Amino acid sequence: MGKPTGFLEFPRRGPRTRPVAIRLGDWDEVYEDQAEAEVREQAARCMDCGIPFCTQGCPLGNRIPVFNDGAFRGRWAEAAAQLFATNNFPEFTGRLCPAPCESACVLGIADDPVTIERLEYQTAEHAFALGLPVMVVPSSETGYHVAIVGSGPAGLAAAAQLRSAGHRVTVHERADAIGGLLRYGIPAFKLDKAVLERRLAVLADAGVEFRPSSPIGPGGLALEDLQRQVDAVVVAVGATLGRRLPIPGSELAGVHLAMEYLEAANRAVASAGTPAIDARDRSVLILGGGDTGADCLGTAHRQGARSVTQLEILPTPPRERPADEPWPTMARLFKTTTAHEEGGERRFAAETLALEGDDRVRRAQVRDLDTGEVATLAADLVLIAAGFQGPDLAALGVGTPHVTTRGTLAVDDRWRTSLGGRAPVFACGDAVRGQSLVVWAIAEGRSAAAAVDEHLTGSRRLPAPVRPGAASW
């Protein structure tokens, strides 16, 4: 416990955001860096509880009180060693995770919880800046070859772990660049792509082989042929099939799935070109009130939308902790992202009945579920952010005998699928769990890697933080 009275002396203080007028003119990350003294004050708020519920709240089992203590003392090497022991990519989770650890923070019962996510970010960034180890490099080679299908957070975590164990690892990605969701799904103002490139360089230097534009399945190398080339396969293709809404007018031009829009925006930012789907001077309607919808909101602002309205079918969440919920549970509380701070209208209890127009969408009929009134909203660009159906298993060439009733890949308690072939096929991440969080993808990638390593070597050498089917919290 760095400072026994720290939680009494220092209020919670997260990083400051750059002024809205400035950040809407670029795609740089929203948050400013905190001063070192302030970072250490925030770390001092950690009480080092007898039972660290924050560690239990983290799917990765991060040793949060320990790296918080290192951050408080300015012992960044010690803090980084503890953090990277359980989390391959804290530079990602420190930017993108909704921090279930903070929901589990004991201090949060009577006060604001510790800024765990940002302390994780600071520890990771200090590690890179100081040239500290950020990945375990193998000391010897096993001679085994593992193929990873998919290069999102789950696939990259599995690749990092398997390579650290001395296996040859080849990552196959159907897109033209490595990164999956991190590359084309997350806007640059939340995750600067230079951060992704930095991590990919670390993985490549450690010996991980990347093969972009390398689809596995129909249209590319058959899964069976890949199995003949390697000793094991890990499928980590994510849950990329968007959910369309069965309403009149959903087929009109100008109606797009959120991920189609975000990918087009990310590609345009990377090439400094014009996006294939552009919100400039348009009335944008976002159907869905979650994080993906907020990403669309921030993106539309930066593209110069005329107006942006985000609709959520659920009622307005409470702004204060419900009386029957003594613990801070994020899912039940009103959430305002940095994108919402930038403008736009937000409506709850709003059901979209129909989209109307000629050849292109022009307006939407929306019912207020509280009053029953129906209003007409102008909309010449509609973005559907209603979640995901599951993984695109057809593109992989996987049939129904190997799929769950939820449309995800079925695995046993060792992350192994029922797919036959020369080499066993394991699976992890959203392809197994369904749409979830980056931190869960990393946890499952690490766990699947442990199962693969044990299958190949006959001994358990890698940590497995979660089991198949573990409940999200």
- Give CA–CA dist 422/229, Å, rounded: 9
Q: Is 281 helix (H, G, I), strand (E, B) or coil?
A: coil
DSSP 189-249: TTS-HHHHHHHHHHHHHTT-EEESS--BSTTSB-HHHHHHHSSEEEE-----EE----STT
> Is 172 in contact with 148 (CB distance < 8 Å)?
yes
Q: pTM of the prediction?
A: 0.95
**Identity of the amino acid at 38:** E
DSSP 305-319: -SEEEEE-SSPPPPS
Taking the CB of residue 89, how many other CB atoms lie within 10 A of it? 29
- Give CA–CA dist 33/17, Å, rounded: 9
Beta-bridge partners for 416: 426
Q: Could you tell me the mean pLDDT of each successive run of 10 residues in the chain, 473 residues long?
A: 87 97 98 96 94 94 96 97 98 95 91 96 98 96 98 98 98 98 97 98 98 96 98 97 93 97 98 97 96 97 98 87 59 79 96 96 97 97 94 90 92 96 97 94 98 97 93 58
- Give CA–CA dist 472/432, Å, rounded: 13
Q: Is 47 helix (H, G, I), strand (E, B) or coil?
A: coil
User: Quick one: pLDDT at residue 253?
Assistant: 97
Q: Where are the domains of the chain?
A: 6-129, 145-240+390-457, 244-386
Beta-bridge partners for 426: 234, 416
∠ CA(8), CA(13), CA(17), 5° rounding? 175
> Is 333 in contact with 300 (CB distance < 8 Å)?
no
Q: Which CATH class is domain 244-386?
A: alpha beta
- Give CA–CA dist 206/138, Å, rounded: 8
∠ CA(221), CA(420), CA(447), 5° rounding? 90
- Give CA–CA dist 423/416, Å, rounded: 11
- Give CA–CA dist 259/238, Å, rounded: 13
Rg of the chain over Cα atoms, rounded to whole angstroms, equals: 23
User: Quick one: pLDDT at residue 470?
Assistant: 77
Check for a shared fold between 145-240+390-457 and 244-386: yes
Tokens 């979209």 correspond to what residue? 352
Token pair belonging to 2: 């760095």
Domain 145-240+390-457 bears CATH identifier 3.40.50.920: no
CA contacts within 13 A on the Cβ side of 206 = 26
Domain 6-129: homologous superfamily in CATH = Alpha-helical ferredoxin (1.10.1060.10)
> Is 374 in contact with 365 (CB distance < 8 Å)?
yes
**Nearest alpha-carbon partner for 348 in 287, 410, 274:** 287
**Nearest alpha-carbon partner for 279 in 267, 262, 291, 294:** 262
- Give CA–CA dist 429/448, Å, rounded: 9
User: Quick one: pLDDT at residue 160?
Assistant: 98
User: Quick one: pLDDT at residue 318?
Assistant: 78
- Percentage helix, strand, coil for the chain under 3-state DSSP, each rounded to 5: 35, 15, 45
> Is 1 in contact with 48 (CB distance < 8 Å)?
yes
Measured between its terminal Cα atoms, the distance across the chain in Å is 27
CA contacts within 13 A on the Cβ side of 335 = 15
- Give CA–CA dist 156/196, Å, rounded: 11
Beta-bridge partners for 168: 145
Distance of CA 174 to the CA centre of its chain: 19
- What are the angstrom distances between the C-alpha of 433 and each of 87, 374, 407? 19, 37, 10
Taking the CB of residue 269, how many other CB atoms lie within 10 A of it? 18
